[in-house]
Structure 1
Amino acid sequence: MKIRKISIKNFRGVKELDWSLPTADIFCLIGKGDSSKSTILEAIRYTFYPQWNLTFSDSDFYQCRIENEITIEVTIGSLIEEFCALNKYGHHLRGWDAAALTLMDEPDDHLESVLTVRLTVEKDLEPKWIVVCDRNPEGAPFKQTDRNKVGVGLIGAYSERELSWANGTALAKLTEAQSLTELLANASRTARTSLDADRPATLKNFDAAAIKSQAIAKLLGVPVLDAYKAHLDLASINLKVGGLALHDGEIPLRQLGLGSRRMLQCGIQRAGLEEGHITLFDELEFGLEPHRITRLIKHIREDKRGQYFLTTHSPMVLRELTVKDLYIVHSKGGVVQIISAAQKGLEEHEVQGKIRSSTEAFLAKKVIVCEGATEVGFLRGFDDYQIENEKDPFSFHGVALLDAKGASKVKALAKAFKSLCYDVSVLADGDAEKQFSTADAAELVALGIPTYVWSDKLSLEERAFQDLPWDDVLASVKLAQDELFYPVYDQVRSQLLENLDKDIGTWTESPKLRTAIGVAAKNSGWFKDTTRGDLWFKAICLAFQDAAFGKKNLALELSKLWEWAERV
């Protein structure tokens, strides 16, 4: 069985969610922290909880408002024949249009037959499971045994139970029919008999106490049928099914490392359910090295009977998946929205490539699309400077820096991330009108994407060397020469076309020299990567304490960009 639609109301951090799923087997939920990704997995698990004793508390209600009941509806397709029978849930069948992602209340020949399972919890904290449709709003009870047949399993950080034969585990389903209860009862009786056989040695002191108790009993008129002795109470030592666990020799497999346990559980879940399964994998990367992440995802891809819901904060996991597997989760005021990264219109925007090269951007709340690596490095240095001045960093505000790798790609990437409901801004040069024009910038602004472009159609280097105090200009040139090993004198001299002292410290400020330095820095790539851009900002950061510089275009644009990042 497979999930077709999920609706959640008033459950933990989710005030409202309505998600119609495309036909697929892998759904990897990504997005910033606290966007309710794990809550969605828990909602699915609770809807098909294989036991009767599911416990809720007031904190499970959205903002602890117990007056608003929890309602979780999950619509499942690929139904087993038993569920479609009229004496089961046949009267509650509905229709699913996979092309339109629409749920119809009436089943039809051209629609997939599906069932909608509703879990409700009111302020009495008692969960109620029913199968519903508009034709039969009262619904029919969805019993524990049937919830178990859906085959939902959660692989989380604490899931040792899945390596035992406890009720509802995949391992229990993998086991051929056998009376485990009788087997364990016999084991309890065997333990009792074994202890009795060695009584003189092992229970001598205990039996002595029992004899004294017998004497007291007789003295008080308590009947003694035979003789008091110490013995195991079968009711107290009764082994439960969950006590039978998977071992490697004498060592229980719950003692395996976290990653090994989770991989084994995933494999058992797949092997144990002939009718298919729905596996929930929270934070897939926990406890796994990169090579085992690769192997696990390959295992998941090869499983055509299962449906997997994953969450992750790992760039490594994203690189192993495709854009079709990714679903971005956004939450605003408890209203949760899930958007496919493969939605129509994004095919030409290099989203797949950015998943592999700039995965951090997909895990953030806000994205600054930077024209190139210089801008990324420069902003990293700016971020460090702001932290030193007691500002909260980009990371606090959920901001990621994305290298567009060229002005021609800026607009498309910014629009793509905006369509995926990220907060987006752009930082670009103004010197490549054919690749990123004034009209392109205006188009992005009209779409709600703040765009910061250096004035006078200059690049970052040219703008900086026009605006920086002269001491910081010279510090930049010395950085390029002494630490980055560029032939600075020759490169600047070729732009200036005038005599120039080879001793940088003697250079005298002039508009023409500032321009020559800016062009040389741009054309020769003094700071054209992230590391060098960062070093450059650190070399000139004291300029931001200069009041006159604070009124120049470079400082003003960075200030506006920072204000955007700080907005909630």
Structure 2
Amino acid sequence: MYAKMNKEANTLVDVAGATILRLKIERYRAFQKFDWFPKAGLNVILGGGDAGKTTILEAIALLLNPSNAALVSDSDYWRRQRKDGFFIGAVISLPPDSSIATQSRPAFPWEWDGRQARKPQESDEGEPARPVGPPVYKISVSGSEELDLTYAIHNPNDTTDIFSSTLRREIGLVRLGGDDRNDRDLRLVQGSALDRLLSDKALRSRLTSTFSDVDVKAELQTEGQEAMKQLNETFGERALPHDLGLGLSAGQGQSISALIGLTAAIEESRLPLSSWGSGTRRLASLAVAQAYRSGCPITLVDEAERGLEPYRQRKLVSELAAGPSQVVMTTHSAPALVAAEPATIWYLSQGHVIAELSSPRSIQLQKRDPEAFLSRLTLVGEGPTEVGFVTEMLQREISTDLLDLGVRLCDGQGNTFTLELLEEFAKAKLGLAAFVDCEGDNTTRWKNLKSAMGDLLFQWPSGCTEANVIAHICDDKLEALLFDPDDILTQPRLATLVERLKVLESTAEFPKHDFATVKAVAGNRLRALIIAAASGDSEGAPEKEAKTWKKHGKRWFKSLEGGRELADKAYVLGAMVKVKPQLQPLIDALTALTARTPKATENG
């Protein structure tokens, strides 16, 4: 049964496997303090380089490590200060058949209210009553000053029990890490996906017995045989164990079974899957985990795109999203992000603040322009005109290619849509800039955004881009606005002016449909007429023609290419001299990125 989640309250119903409801990290690596409420199903963490995405995955991996062989170093402590230790804790929901309640010292569950675990009310016998809904437990791992790890279960009665490796293996963990040689789940390492799938507890002892019968010494060449003979004599002289032989043996933290792994046929030989490409190993590890039908292990995927072509990225992510397990995944790939459906998208800022991007606006943008979430800075234009205009402007004003700066221009698809998107992105602390019109509403919200974004938010004092540019073009150059560089839209633009004048000046005659006639009929209203047509203003239109008038803007500058054309005309026709002082703070703020962007050839 798959997990169902009330995302508003962060509560679970019909949980298929273990699900982390809250994760706390304190003084671990670069994280001084971190608090997160992941959701059931697929969680995708986005963020810039070195934001700490991998650290979150590694913290979960350490918390659910299926063995006691994990080692830590001083670099795992915040600022390498071991004195205060580190702490990784979670509130976790477990399936009803979990052995946590039936082990020799059963742990008591907590009551989950959607934000924190609360003590359930006591029963008549004085012991905690079983909470209503899915049981949740508090688990943790902490690192001491001496580099020791302590795993604990925290009970509602303020006692603690050992969070045993047996229970951690039962919860299950599949890790598709960023390490190219990560093939743990393809070998019989204790607690691996393959180990859980085969579930043969006596295999290790049988392998040890079988391997111990192999006379490796007999396979030595003459020189080796003689060296063994002399070593045996030396051991005897020093009263050490003698009658020496050679056999397979495992070192500390290792087992013979860990040398056993999956192999596959290739041409006329068989090769370990661990020697295949990193993408194939990742997909194989996931397939092994999914084949283990009696559990739904928590799955960690670091850089989902690593080693995979775009179509296999989509395949991997689609399978993760459709499965019953909780998944925490990081990615820098647009194909992987588009395929993440259904999923909860999170953004981790450089300050280790994580925010959910779940509004309808964000979800639509995720499908339409996933690179807006993956760039160093996303510059949102209110519409295609603004995107085209600012693209052309910045290419003239900034010598560096915007893509080299990590700047992505995207279409906000309208003033209200853009406002809501900017508010969500600003709250999540995404790198953000914007170029928008002023429609005279939501003034307080725009003012608050301006305070948060500073010069990276440009909004015209009033009106739209077309109005603000055309207002500064000299009268004798207005006709040049009609001319389309490809000479496709020149006559259609003229036609929009004639259509409007026939309504506004119903008694006027048009012996010719040319600009001279339009100018003569419009008189001193010519500039306003052009602005209205170029912006698709329907004011004054007959009811039946209102929609047609709104579409006039598409014949002018209401497109990406149209926005670029408008910016080009602003420079060529002299309007930019008047407009640029307003735009200069935005230009300067974006230019400053050039100085802060490391070259591709630089270290780091």
TM class, shorter-length: 0.7 to 0.9
Whichever residue aligns with residue 28 of structure 2, its letter is: F
Whole-angstrom CA distance in 2 between matches of 1:89 and 1:460 = 67
TM norm structure 1: 0.76
1:129 aligns with 2:147: no
What is the deviation of 1:8?
A: 0.9
Checking the alignment, whether the CA contact within 8 Å between 1:165 and 1:242 is kept in structure 2 is yes
Distance change (3 Å), C-alpha of 1:223 and 1:75? closer
What is the deviation of 1:67?
A: 3.5
Whole-angstrom CA distance in 1 between matches of 2:237 and 2:572 = 93
Partner of 1:434: none
Partner of 1:10: 27
Counterpart selection for 2:385 from 354, 368, 374: 374
Partner of 2:436: 428
SS of corresponding position for 1:192: coil
What is the deviation of 1:169?
A: 0.7
What is the deviation of 1:280?
A: 0.9
Distance change (3 Å), C-alpha of 1:314 and 1:207? closer
Partner of 1:300: 320
Whichever residue aligns with residue 102 of structure 1, its letter is: Q
Partner of 1:331: 349
What is the deviation of 1:564?
A: 5.4
Counterpart selection for 1:188 from 189, 197, 211: 211
Whichever residue aligns with residue 184 of structure 1, its letter is: L
Checking the alignment, whether the CA contact within 8 Å between 1:383 and 1:394 is kept in structure 2 is no
1:263 aligns with 2:265: no
Partner of 2:66: 50
Whole-angstrom CA distance in 1 between matches of 2:101 and 2:337 = 38
Of the structure 1 ranges 521-530 and 311-320, higher mean CA displacement relative to structure 2 is found in 521-530
SS of corresponding position for 1:350: helix
1:557 aligns with 2:576: no
SS of corresponding position for 2:388: helix
Whichever residue aligns with residue 459 of structure 2, its letter is: V
Once the two structures are superposed, residues 260-296 of structure 1 have per-residue CA deviations (whole angstroms, 9 ceiling, x without a partner) of 2111111211222613311111122222233333333
Whole-angstrom CA distance in 2 between matches of 1:28 and 1:18 = 16
For these two proteins, the number of residue pairs brought into alignment is: 519
Alignment of 1:108-187 (within 5 A): 108=129, 109-133=131-155, 135-136=157-158, 139-158=160-179, 159-187=182-210
Checking the alignment, whether the CA contact within 8 Å between 2:347 and 2:428 is kept in structure 1 is no
TM norm structure 2: 0.72
Checking the alignment, whether the CA contact within 8 Å between 2:388 and 2:564 is kept in structure 1 is yes
1:452 aligns with 2:458: yes
SS of corresponding position for 2:89: strand
Distance change (3 Å), C-alpha of 1:245 and 1:540? farther
Once the two structures are superposed, residues 59-103 of structure 1 have per-residue CA deviations (whole angstroms, 9 ceiling, x without a partner) of 22233333442111012112444211373242x432223xx3331
What is the deviation of 1:463?
A: 3.1
What is the deviation of 1:539?
A: 8.3
Once the two structures are superposed, residues 476-516 of structure 1 have per-residue CA deviations (whole angstroms, 9 ceiling, x without a partner) of 887x42xx3435478469859999999xxxxxxxx999878
1:350 aligns with 2:361: yes
Distance change (3 Å), C-alpha of 1:460 and 1:61? same
Whole-angstrom CA distance in 1 between matches of 2:137 and 2:480 = 70
Partner of 1:311: 330
Distance change (3 Å), C-alpha of 1:445 and 1:135? same
What is the deviation of 1:462?
A: 4.4
Partner of 1:254: 274
What is the deviation of 1:310?
A: 1.6
What is the deviation of 1:163?
A: 0.9
What is the deviation of 1:424?
A: 5.3
Whichever residue aligns with residue 295 of structure 1, its letter is: K
Checking the alignment, whether the CA contact within 8 Å between 1:464 and 1:518 is kept in structure 2 is no
Counterpart selection for 1:36 from 46, 52, 56: 52
What is the deviation of 1:312?
A: 1.9
Checking the alignment, whether the CA contact within 8 Å between 1:28 and 1:312 is kept in structure 2 is yes
Once the two structures are superposed, residues 430-462 of structure 1 have per-residue CA deviations (whole angstroms, 9 ceiling, x without a partner) of 5xxxxxx212345321354665333563x4344
Checking the alignment, whether the CA contact within 8 Å between 1:472 and 1:540 is kept in structure 2 is no
Whole-angstrom CA distance in 2 between matches of 1:228 and 1:65 = 50
What is the deviation of 1:152?
A: 1.6
Counterpart selection for 1:243 from 259, 262, 270: 259
Whole-angstrom CA distance in 2 between matches of 1:55 and 1:239 = 17
Counterpart selection for 2:445 from 433, 443, 446: 443
Checking the alignment, whether the CA contact within 8 Å between 2:110 and 2:156 is kept in structure 1 is no
What is the deviation of 1:412?
A: 3.5
Partner of 1:65: 81
What is the deviation of 1:248?
A: 0.6
What is the deviation of 1:12?
A: 2.0
Of the structure 1 ranges 271-280 and 556-565, higher mean CA displacement relative to structure 2 is found in 556-565
Whole-angstrom CA distance in 2 between matches of 1:178 and 1:291 = 38
SS of corresponding position for 2:44: strand
Once the two structures are superposed, residues 170-189 of structure 1 have per-residue CA deviations (whole angstroms, 9 ceiling, x without a partner) of 10111132433334334534
Whichever residue aligns with residue 110 of structure 1, its letter is: V
SS of corresponding position for 2:189: coil
Partner of 1:505: none
SS of corresponding position for 1:446: helix
Distance change (3 Å), C-alpha of 1:310 and 1:469? farther
Checking the alignment, whether the CA contact within 8 Å between 1:492 and 1:516 is kept in structure 2 is no
Counterpart selection for 1:103 from 108, 111, 117: 117
Identity %: 22
Whichever residue aligns with residue 448 of structure 2, its letter is: A
Whole-angstrom CA distance in 1 between matches of 2:32 and 2:404 = 26
1:464 aligns with 2:469: yes
Partner of 2:504: none
1:87 aligns with 2:104: yes
SS of corresponding position for 1:559: helix
Whole-angstrom CA distance in 2 between matches of 1:101 and 1:169 = 32
Distance change (3 Å), C-alpha of 1:468 and 1:254? farther
Whole-angstrom CA distance in 2 between matches of 1:272 and 1:494 = 67
Checking the alignment, whether the CA contact within 8 Å between 1:50 and 1:144 is kept in structure 2 is yes
Once the two structures are superposed, residues 408-445 of structure 1 have per-residue CA deviations (whole angstroms, 9 ceiling, x without a partner) of 53334334444555465542235xxxxxx212345321
What is the deviation of 1:43?
A: 1.0
Partner of 1:411: 419
Whole-angstrom CA distance in 1 between matches of 2:236 and 2:172 = 58
Whole-angstrom CA distance in 2 between matches of 1:36 and 1:471 = 58
What is the deviation of 1:404?
A: 2.0
Whole-angstrom CA distance in 2 between matches of 1:271 and 1:88 = 31
Unaligned 5+ segments in structure 2 are 1-17, 121-127, 502-509, 516-523, 536-552, 597-604
Whichever residue aligns with residue 343 of structure 2, its letter is: D
Whichever residue aligns with residue 94 of structure 2, its letter is: S
Distance change (3 Å), C-alpha of 1:115 and 1:515? same
Whole-angstrom CA distance in 1 between matches of 2:557 and 2:477 = 15
Distance change (3 Å), C-alpha of 1:126 and 1:217? closer
What is the deviation of 1:359?
A: 1.8
Distance change (3 Å), C-alpha of 1:9 and 1:190? same
Distance change (3 Å), C-alpha of 1:563 and 1:280? same
Whole-angstrom CA distance in 2 between matches of 1:236 and 1:350 = 56
Distance change (3 Å), C-alpha of 1:110 and 1:487? closer
Checking the alignment, whether the CA contact within 8 Å between 1:21 and 1:101 is kept in structure 2 is no
Whole-angstrom CA distance in 1 between matches of 2:295 and 2:314 = 26
What is the deviation of 1:384?
A: 3.8
